[in-house]
Chain A
Amino acid sequence: MRPEVALPVLLPLLSGALSLLFWRSRPVQRFISVAGNVALLVVSLWLFASVLQDDYVTMQMGSWPAPFGITLIADMLSAVMILLTALIGLAMGIYSLASTGRGHEKFGYYPLMHLLLAGVAGAFLTGDIFNLYVWFEVMLVASFALLILGGERAQMEGAIKYVTLNLLASVIFLSAVGLLYGTVGTLNMADIALRMNAAEHRGMVEVLAVMFMIAFGIKAAAFPLFFWLPASYHTPTVAVSALFAGLLTKVGVYSLFRVFTLIFDQSMGYLQEIMIWGAVFTMVTGVLGAAAQYEFRRILSFHIVSQIGYMILGLALYTPLAIAGGVFAIGHNIVVKTNLFLISGITHRLQGTYQLKKMGGLFRTRPWLAVAFFISAFSLAGVPPLSGFFAKFVIVRAGFEAEAYVATAIALAVGLMTLYSMVKIWNEVFWKALPEENDVPAEVTPSGDDGRLIKPSLWMMYLPVIVLAGASLMIGLFAEPIMLVMNTIGEQLMSPQGYIEAVLGVTASADDALLEALDTEEVSP
């Protein structure tokens, strides 16, 4: 019985349910939001400590033995992702107190946020492929509702694309799960991994691999499946944008890492080639898309796509070092990208627009905000000694070791292009003088639907920004212990034997275990 594996899922569900109970009381919901997210962070630290000690922490739901019931399992990758989720959840919880309008809060902003976190945490922890689908849907439904809170035209248009393509991905995922069950006769991922090697229809296995690649590719916003992302991420309220940017696409990337290291672990030949070039094109199209934009959040949205390319490249190179680098990129990107969106929210509050052309002069008036942006932006571009540098450094080194010279060279060039976009934002928003035609409102405040302005409390917006910028700096300065953790992840993912043993509790082949279980226990599936 290891409660710390289940608690990261249960706590947000509990906070969400409690906030629903206090539907009419804004202050209570705000309190629950912060308290629940603090508790989530504490639990995730507990989980991380357990995983550091024991490598794998598992829990069988309802005490059903492994291939029959649903398993929750945390390896190092899950624990790190949960830790980052909790960190972002807390940052968003505090930021939302100041940035979210009363109209949003009245229509269930906080319960939805908790539900989203529960879905994300569930997806990171589950060891059952159908359960993964269910958590994806929990996450998606919450994100749909958060995306259209407010109901403006742009939000509706963005939401239609977002909903359609994500549902399409879900259906492809679900079909793949169905076919997978038909092929190997189990849904437990560790059990699937064992039986996959013995599967008779190699053609079927390849079809399944491609289906999972497409389904998770859409969710991760990889080339050429990313078009829903830049069409929708800049439309909702900024705290929601930041939460999506930090977590949602990363769940897709996490699933790619999990499925392609655990289930389809044989060298997939041409699939690996496709993945490398998919990653390269993701980087290039994302960064070129960003270069053409002059809206703060749209630039950042395209950079999400571009950064996804690095993570997938880490997976596609398929060496322990490359995977460690890919996971490093995920972690670094969650922190930095969320922070950039949060900063765009503050500049919007200060200057009333997201259009770079209309902004300016913030370096003079808000030097510390400029410093926070500087750290995050240069970290994103991969300037040493910030967190992005080490992520890129490890991937590039792994790329050279794997002799993927062209892909690696392109990855380096994309870093330069990222720098160009970030310098563009820096010049327009912070460096140049404020354009004269922009009558800056003293402080743009979100107003409730009753028209009352909410008292601006900028420190609640600054606090998460400073903490996350500090986190990025710290990841860069203390890269060595973090790299040790990443190396553990790389080794664990590349040798899934430990994962399988942790889930099934046996070293024997799955068929023996299954027969044994059928013989000795009265099993009603």
Chain B
Amino acid sequence: MEPLMALAIGLLYATAIFMMLRRSIVKLVIGLMLLSNAANLLIFTTAGMTRGVPPLIAEGMSQPPPGVADPLPQAVVLTAIVIAFGVLAFAVVLIRRAYEVVKADDLDKMKDTDT
């Protein structure tokens, strides 16, 4: 399972970078979305993928059974998803406003502040 996930994550990173390198600001934001998804999947995968052993402590025990799935990365991923959602919502509004002001979906037309 892990090699498959690794391939998928690598593909996501590559696609995201490709999208971000285009000139269109819409594609830029799509790239950012894919990038944060790739990072989330990466965290999810690096801690090891364990199936069918939830980290629950059985009644009368003081410790979970050995070999349980690690819940921490999942908590981390949840937090990261929420943050990415908020930030991307902002980014979408930003490109809409930028489009209204600049009247172009083209990063090459946004060079006023560079000179």
Contact of A187 with B62 in the complex, beta carbons under 8 Å: no
Contact of B72 with A181 in the complex, beta carbons under 8 Å: yes
Is A154 an interface residue when CB atoms closer than 8 A count as contact?
yes
Contact of A137 with B83 in the complex, beta carbons under 8 Å: yes
CA distance A512 to B38 in the complex (A): 35
A525 partner residues in chain B, CB cutoff 8 A: 55, 70-72
Is A145 an interface residue when CB atoms closer than 8 A count as contact?
yes
Mostly, the B contact residues are helix
Contact of B42 with A158 in the complex, beta carbons under 8 Å: no
Contact of A181 with B73 in the complex, beta carbons under 8 Å: yes
Q: Chain B, interface size: which category? A: 35 or more
Is A203 an interface residue when CB atoms closer than 8 A count as contact?
no
Mostly, the A contact residues are helix
Is A398 an interface residue when CB atoms closer than 8 A count as contact?
no
Is A174 an interface residue when CB atoms closer than 8 A count as contact?
yes
Contact of B57 with A524 in the complex, beta carbons under 8 Å: yes
CA distance A133 to B76 in the complex (A): 11
Contact of A164 with B98 in the complex, beta carbons under 8 Å: no
CA distance A144 to B79 in the complex (A): 20
A187 partner residues in chain B, CB cutoff 8 A: 72, 76
If A179-B42, A182-B46 touch, whether A148 touches B97 (CB-CB below 8 Å) is yes
CA distance A145 to B97 in the complex (A): 12
B83 partner residues in chain A, CB cutoff 8 A: 134, 137
* Pick from B36, B48, B113: contact of A232, CB under 8 Å: B113
CA distance A151 to B114 in the complex (A): 18
Smallest Cβ distance from B39 to chain A, in angstroms? 5
B91-112 vs A: 1/0 string, CB under 8 Å?
1001101100110000100111
User: Which parts of A127-176 form the interface with B (CB within 8 Å)?
Assistant: 130, 133-134, 137, 140-141, 144-145, 148, 151-154, 156-161, 163-164, 167-168, 170-171, 174-175
Most chain A C-beta atoms within 10 Å of own C-beta, residue among B35, B40, B91, B113:
B113
With both beta carbons as reference points, the residue of chain A lying nearest to B114 in the complex is identified as: A231
Smallest Cβ distance from A471 to chain B, in angstroms? 31
A233-244 vs B: 1/0 string, CB under 8 Å?
011000000000
CA distance A133 to B11 in the complex (A): 24
A151 partner residues in chain B, CB cutoff 8 A: 97, 101
CA distance A161 to B94 in the complex (A): 11
Is B8 an interface residue when CB atoms closer than 8 A count as contact?
no
If A160-B110, A235-B113 touch, whether A134 touches B79 (CB-CB below 8 Å) is yes
Contact of B28 with A168 in the complex, beta carbons under 8 Å: no
B5 partner residues in chain A, CB cutoff 8 A: none
Contact of B28 with A164 in the complex, beta carbons under 8 Å: yes
B91 partner residues in chain A, CB cutoff 8 A: 163, 167
If A153-B102, A182-B46 touch, whether A137 touches B113 (CB-CB below 8 Å) is no
CA distance A177 to B114 in the complex (A): 33
Smallest Cβ distance from B108 to chain A, in angstroms? 11
Contact of A167 with B101 in the complex, beta carbons under 8 Å: no
If A144-B90, A181-B46 touch, whether A231 touches B113 (CB-CB below 8 Å) is yes
Smallest Cβ distance from A116 to chain B, in angstroms? 14
Contact of B43 with A181 in the complex, beta carbons under 8 Å: yes
Is A518 an interface residue when CB atoms closer than 8 A count as contact?
yes
Contact of A175 with B39 in the complex, beta carbons under 8 Å: yes
Contact of A160 with B42 in the complex, beta carbons under 8 Å: no
Is B53 an interface residue when CB atoms closer than 8 A count as contact?
no
CA distance A232 to B112 in the complex (A): 11
Contact of B87 with A181 in the complex, beta carbons under 8 Å: no
If A134-B79, A232-B113 touch, whether A167 touches B97 (CB-CB below 8 Å) is no
B86 partner residues in chain A, CB cutoff 8 A: 141
Contact of B47 with A182 in the complex, beta carbons under 8 Å: yes
With both beta carbons as reference points, the residue of chain A lying nearest to B13 in the complex is identified as: A175
Contact of B32 with A156 in the complex, beta carbons under 8 Å: no
B31-64 vs A: 1/0 string, CB under 8 Å?
0100110111011001110000001010000110
A167 partner residues in chain B, CB cutoff 8 A: 32, 35-36, 87, 91
CA distance A232 to B70 in the complex (A): 41
With both beta carbons as reference points, the residue of chain A lying nearest to B76 in the complex is identified as: A130
If A178-B73, A181-B72 touch, whether A156 touches B47 (CB-CB below 8 Å) is no
Q: A-B pairs with the 4 shortest C-beta distances? A: A182-B46, A178-B43, A156-B98, A157-B110
| 17 A/B residue pairs, CB under 8 Å, sorted by A | A141-B90, A144-B87, A148-B94, A156-B110, A157-B102, A157-B113, A158-B113, A160-B25, A163-B91, A164-B32, A167-B36, A168-B20, A175-B39, A181-B43, A181-B46, A522-B62, A522-B63
B residues contacting A by CB (< 8 A) are: 20, 25, 28, 32, 35-36, 38-40, 42-43, 46-48, 55, 57, 62-63, 70-73, 76, 79-80, 83, 86-87, 90-91, 94-95, 97-98, 101-102, 107, 110-114
A residues contacting B by CB (< 8 A) are: 130, 133-134, 137, 140-141, 144-145, 148, 151-154, 156-161, 163-164, 167-168, 170-171, 174-175, 177-179, 181-183, 185, 187, 231-232, 234-235, 518, 522, 524-525
